[in-house]
Amino acid sequence: MRAYHTPLDLVRSSELEVPAICTRPDLLARASQWFQDRFPGEILYAVKANPSPWVIDGLYASGLRWFDVASMAEIEMVASRCPQAKLAFLHPIKSRAAIRRAYHDYGVRVFAIDCAEELQKIIEETGGARDLTLIVRLAVSNDHSVLPLTGKFGVSAHEAPALIHQARAVADQLGVCFHVGSQCMQPDAFRQAMDLSSRLIAQAGVTIDIIDVGGGFPSLYPGLTPPPLQAYLDTITQAFENMLVLENATLWCEPGRALVADAESVLVRIDLRKEDALYLNDGAFGTLFDASHSDWPFPMRAVHADGRLATGRTVPFRLYGPTCDSEDVLAGRFDLPATLKTGDYIEIGLIGAYGTALTTRFNGCGQYDYVCVSDTPFASAFDLEQRPATITPMHANGPGPSGAR
Ligand SMILES: Cc1ncc(COP(=O)(O)O)c(C=O)c1O
């Protein structure tokens, strides 16, 4: 990967034909270290948030050993890059072949379930294995998350005690997990989910080895300022102490967004300015899926074609992506410098989570140039103070995010 101090140097140095993913390994390592220093348990990276090889390698190099994988493709990819990595197959619904191959070919022992039929599939495909770690996924409230994940997975409170009981009979290690929804804005959401878990475990009348609080840890997007991340860990630690579990029960978490959001930005070119419309070379079918489909507010800074930061009076712009689909437009209006013109660039920050992971090849797009940079232009949940005072990230002035992915 080519290295530059900032994306501005990249603009100065060469002709950029495709959008550039500006990777920031230092910020990835900082996020990983932060969790490793403070989370009182095991951290499993949710690979789906960003499966890029440089992210997997970077997290492993930073000391993270557990990966939450959702498919055979993720298992194969992580295992091929980091053979010593420990894998947990935490998608509650898996094909029989995936269960078989994960267990027999890749040594996966940790599987999530949210119904008796999935439990039965695991028993059958592993040949009645006695060394399984089964994690029962509970349905919990997602009321405090910006991107709720409810309705699809998770056993109801009504059915959970029976499933926990059933799983205990075959599991070597037994856990419960949940997901409070992505970009959770209230630490108390974790406490509520843990209190519910505790009640359901008591009703099941069995011992539990693992409490997995899932993902949902927030990043710092414009207009979406969560409480400090430490407050989430304090709440979880306190709630864990109050849970009806054994002394030696362990705590797990599965962060995706919080670990990787800061670690990538995308540098897009303005292929045409038509009055207040900017036509970009990336959009809804590329790294900006969430900016268009969920109305997600990303920080931005504008860069002139000669590599100078664009500043001065701002006016509202519409931002269109490169494909012919009329839905390839970012939600809202964006206050950007009035001087912007065809051939200039916009750097859009915090696309490390669910950005590159969601790109498609629609219209022949979806090709990116990966470079490495070391500046820190956008505010981060990990260290607000590091943000240089000279740069004011701009963002949409439309409505805030809404709805599930
Ligand atoms: C099972 C599971 N764990 C963890 C995550 C990561 O969530 P987040 O990126 O909100 O931390 C997800 C996201 O969908 C998930 O489905």
174/47 same-domain check: yes
In which element (H, E) is residue 164 found? helix 160-168
86-133: per-residue pLDDT in tens?
A: 999 999 999 999 999 999 999 999 999 999 999 999 999 999 999 999
- Mean pLDDT of the 186-209 span: 96
Q: What is the CATH number of the domain that holds 63?
A: 3.20.20.10
Q: How far apart are CA 333 and CA 346, in angstroms?
A: 14
184/76 same-domain check: yes
| 131 within some domain | yes
Q: What's the confidence (pLDDT) of residue 74? A: 98
| 90 within some domain | yes
Split into its structural domains, the chain has a count of 2
Q: Which of 234, 260, 286 is the last residue of a domain?
A: 260
pLDDT at 15 over 80: no
The ligand 1 atom at the shortest distance from the C-alpha of residue 145 is: 10
The ligand 1 atom at the shortest distance from the C-alpha of residue 91 is: 1
Distance 256 CA to ligand 1 centre (A): 6
Distance 48 CA to ligand 1 centre (A): 8
**Residue 285 corresponds to which tokens in the numbers above?**
């079918």
| Residue 166 phi, psi dihedral angles, 5° rounding | -65, -45
The ligand 1 atom at the shortest distance from the C-alpha of residue 68 is: 3
76/111 same-domain check: yes
pLDDT at 395 over 70: no
- Mean pLDDT of the 318-333 span: 94
Q: Which of 209, 228, 260 is the last residue of a domain?
A: 260
120/269 same-domain check: no
Distance 43 CA to ligand 1 centre (A): 12
* Domain coverage including residue 135: 25-260
pLDDT at 383 over 90: no
Question: Percent of the chain, pLDDT > 70?
Answer: 94
| 394 within some domain | no
Q: What's the confidence (pLDDT) of residue 45? A: 98
> In a mutational test of the pocket of ligand 1, which residue from 44, 185, 253, 254 has the highest number of ligand atoms less than 8 Å from its CB?
254
pLDDT band at 385 (very low <50, low <70, confident <90, very high): very low
Signed CA dihedral, 373, 378, 379, 380: sign only: negative
Q: CB within 6 Å of ligand 1 — which residues?
A: 46, 48-49, 68, 90, 149, 179, 182, 214-217, 254-258, 353
> In a mutational test of the pocket of ligand 1, which residue from 68, 350, 405 has the highest number of ligand atoms less than 8 Å from its CB?
68
Rg of the chain on CA atoms, in Å? 22
pLDDT at 387 over 80: no
| 398 within some domain | no
Q: How far apart are CA 146 and CA 142, in angstroms?
A: 9
305/254 same-domain check: no
Q: What's the confidence (pLDDT) of residue 151? A: 84
380/276 same-domain check: yes
Q: What's the confidence (pLDDT) of residue 402? A: 43
Instruction: Return mean pLDDT, the chain.
Output: 93
150/101 same-domain check: yes
| 404 within some domain | no
| 359 within some domain | yes
The ligand 1 atom at the shortest distance from the C-alpha of residue 49 is: 9
The ligand 1 atom at the shortest distance from the C-alpha of residue 257 is: 9
56-99: per-residue pLDDT in tens?
A: 999 999 999 999 999 999 999 999 999 999 999 999 999 999 99
Question: Percent of the chain, pLDDT > 90?
Answer: 86
> In a mutational test of the pocket of ligand 1, which residue from 32, 39, 48 has the highest number of ligand atoms less than 8 Å from its CB?
48
In which element (H, E) is residue 274 found? strand 264-274
**How far, in Å, are 31, 33, 58, 106, 380 from residue 83 at the CA level?**
23, 21, 14, 9, 31
225-244: per-residue pLDDT in tens?
A: 999 999 999 999 999 999 98
269/379 same-domain check: yes
